[in-house]
Chains A and B, each alone.
Chain A
């Protein structure tokens, strides 16, 4: 199947700093990518839908000014956690749809963010 990568796989940052997470579709072009966060022993929660060339669509309760999403190309979407706080510590996962496969959605390996 198709491959989605994320970078970094883990990051530790100080409170108040910003962190950027990259999500790449390695062997297909993804017009739509999704960003999720996952707390321990809980399921994935959709944060936003990232559309190439347009503004992201955020889920209710997700602060768009805090979680900046940029989908500048068909293979790259970035999530920037601005002014991070300890409560932002979580596992962030992206996914992408391969237009050539009608229903499949490929997930990245995730990024563990720890804010101290």
Chain B
């Protein structure tokens, strides 16, 4: 069964600190992996997209990594800001005609001043 597991479920860190969120998946065949940021009461906003051949992608203070062999991805946030408080969702797409996408349950990140 295709699954996407994220950890931790929730995380609280102090402003200015770094953190890393994890995503493990069993989706096969694999097409691409995306990280989204979702503020409370808003739709998700794309942070990074990685295909099989990419193992790192940066977007400002966000850096995503992908290990297609171990089927693991991480999202690293550096120098966290209060505005980083949100849910971070890992989404993996199948490589098929249906292009089914599977959502992780998300990590709720809270930044404290």
CB within 8 Å of B: which residues of A?
1, 4, 6, 41-46, 91, 93, 95, 103-110, 112
- Contact of A103 with B34 at beta-carbon distance under 8 Å, contacts A43-B104, A44-B103 already known: yes
Q: Could you tell me if B89 and A44 are in contact, using CB atoms closer than 8 angstroms?
A: yes
DSSP class of B's interface residues: helix, strand, loop or mixed? strand
Residue count of chain B within 8 Å CB distance of chain A: 20
- Contact of A93 with B43 at beta-carbon distance under 8 Å, contacts A43-B105, A104-B49 already known: yes
Q: Could you tell me if B46 and A1 are in contact, using CB atoms closer than 8 angstroms?
A: yes
Return chain B residues, CB-CB under 8 Å to A95: 43
Q: Is B7 an interface residue, CB under 8 A from the partner?
A: no
Picked from A6, A43, A103, A109, the residue with its CB within 8 Å of the CB of B103 is A43
How many contacting A-B pairs (Cβ < 8 A)?
43
Q: Could you tell me if B105 and A42 are in contact, using CB atoms closer than 8 angstroms?
A: yes
Residue of B nearest to A10 (CB): B41
Return chain A residues, CB-CB under 8 Å to B104: 43
- Contact of A91 with B45 at beta-carbon distance under 8 Å, contacts A43-B89, A103-B93 already known: no
Q: Could you tell me if B32 and A103 are in contact, using CB atoms closer than 8 angstroms?
A: yes
Q: Smallest CB–CB gap between B2 and chain A, Å?
A: 13
Query: Can you name 15 extra interface pairs (CB under 8 A) apart from A43-B89, A107-B44, A110-B43?
Result: A1-B46, A42-B105, A43-B104, A43-B106, A46-B101, A91-B41, A93-B43, A95-B43, A103-B32, A104-B46, A105-B34, A105-B46, A109-B42, A110-B41, A110-B42
Query: Once the chains are docked, how many angstroms separate the CA of A93 from the CA of B93?
Result: 18
List residues 19-43 of chain B with CB under 8 A from any CB of chain A.
Answer: 31-32, 34, 36, 41-43
